[in-house]
Amino acid sequence: MKILIVEDDSRIAKPLAEDLRHQHHAVDIAADGIEGWDYAQSTEYDLILLDLMLPRLDGISLCKRLRAKKSNALILMLTAKDTTSDKVIGLDAGADDYLIKPFELEELAARIRALSRRTPEVKSSILTHGKLQLEPNKNEVIYADNPIILTPKEYLILEYFLRHPQQVLTRAAILDKLWEIDKCSGEGTVKTHITNLRSKLRAAGSSDNLIETVYGMGYRLNAIDY
């Protein structure tokens, strides 16, 4: 998933982002509501972790603004306020869930998994393509019973292909979906990661053309897994 954290306390935001990246998510951090709004307008996020109390634009106002603009991102509010009225206000503003600070990272991960199951794109617990299997809940990849160890970015790329098996994915689309805004990566970086991913898949027994190049357009999963 591509996740935006809107949190002004770096002591919370940075460790949270690091933990989510270890779970194979692409994560951006915005330090206030206006920056969060700008980020959300520049790229499409699957999930926004939104603090309630923010400088320049508070979380409730940002949530309402996002929903008014028809944002389909899942929104999970993070706040130290735990009264029923505060929860109702957040949910009525368009939030999908509400988590009280302080919270355990395990609980947050469970909430994210629960929210992700609401969207058709991530409803399947195990993604398969022929002999290839990817299990998001365990971050495991197997080809013909052979486990494959991938880097976080290789894992995200493979998951993206598996979730769009009939679609040609351009390098620009892969960059936009899987790289953080503040990471300076060109399209050559995508080519390098796909080359490495192909090599690991071949070592596990896949064909050379499991991820095929559609010249002049991008890449897609081969319909036939030899």
Q: Where are the domains of the chain?
A: 2-121, 127-221
Cβ neighbours of residue 164 closer than 8 Å, sequence gap 6 or more: none
- Architecture, CATH, for domain 2-121: 3-Layer(aba) Sandwich (3.40)
Please report the pLDDT score of residue 90 as a whole number.
85
For residue 209, with 0-12 CB atoms within 10 Å meaning exposed, 13-18 middle and 19 or more buried, which class applies?
Answer: middle
Please report the pLDDT score of residue 83 as a whole number.
72
Portion of the chain with pLDDT greater than 90, in percent: 60
Please report the pLDDT score of residue 186 as a whole number.
81
Our measurement of the distance from residue 216's CA atom to the centroid of its chain's CA atoms, rounded to an integer in Å, reads 27
**Among residues 42, 37, 102, which one has the least CA distance to residue 75?**
37
Residue 170 · residue 209 · CB < 8 Å: no
The yes or no reply on domain 127-221 and CATH 1.10.3720.10 is no
Opening angle at CA 197, ends 40 and 182, nearest 5: 25
Indicate the pTM of the whole model.
0.75
Please report the pLDDT score of residue 108 as a whole number.
92
